[in-house]
Amino acid sequence: MKLLLKAVHIIDPGGKLHKQTKDIFIEKGEIVKIGDKLNFEADKTISIENLHVSKGWFDSSISFGEPGFEERETLDNGLKVAAKSGFTAIALNANTKPVPDNSSAISFFRNKTGLHGVGIYPKGALSPGAKGKDLAELFDMSKAGAVAFSDYKKPIGNPNLLKIALQYAQGFDALVASYPQENAIATNGLVHEDTMSTHLGLKGIPALAEELQIARDLFILEYTGGKLHIPTISSKKSVQLIKEAKEKGLDVSCSVAIANLLFTDKELHDFDSKFKVLPPLRGKEDMLALREGLKSGVIDMLTCDHMPRTIEEKKVEFENAAFGSIGLETAFAALRKIFDTETCIQFLTAGKTRFKIPNYAIAENQPAELSFFLPNAEYNYQTNTLLSTSKNSIFTDTVLKGKTVGIFANQKLSLF
Give the C-alpha separation, 194 to 214, whole Å. Answer: 20
How far apart CA 109 and CA 94 sit, in angstroms, is: 11
Give 175's contacts (C-beta < 8 A, 6+ positions apart).
147, 148, 149, 169, 227, 228, 229, 354, 355, 356
Catalytic pick among 76, 134, 305, 397 = 305
Helix 236-248 vs helix 207-224: crossing angle, to nearest 10: 10
Q: What is the CA radius of gyration of the chain?
A: 21
Q: By C-alpha distance, which of 248, 212, 214 is closest to 233?
A: 214
Beta-sheet pairing, 398-409 with 370-381: antiparallel
- What is the enclosing helix (H) or strand (E) of 403? strand 398-409
101 is catalytic: no
Could you give the 3-state DSSP secondary structure of residue 346? helix
Give the C-alpha separation, 416 to 398, whole Å.
Answer: 21
Chain mean position to CA 415: 21
Looking at the annotation, which residues are catalytic? 305
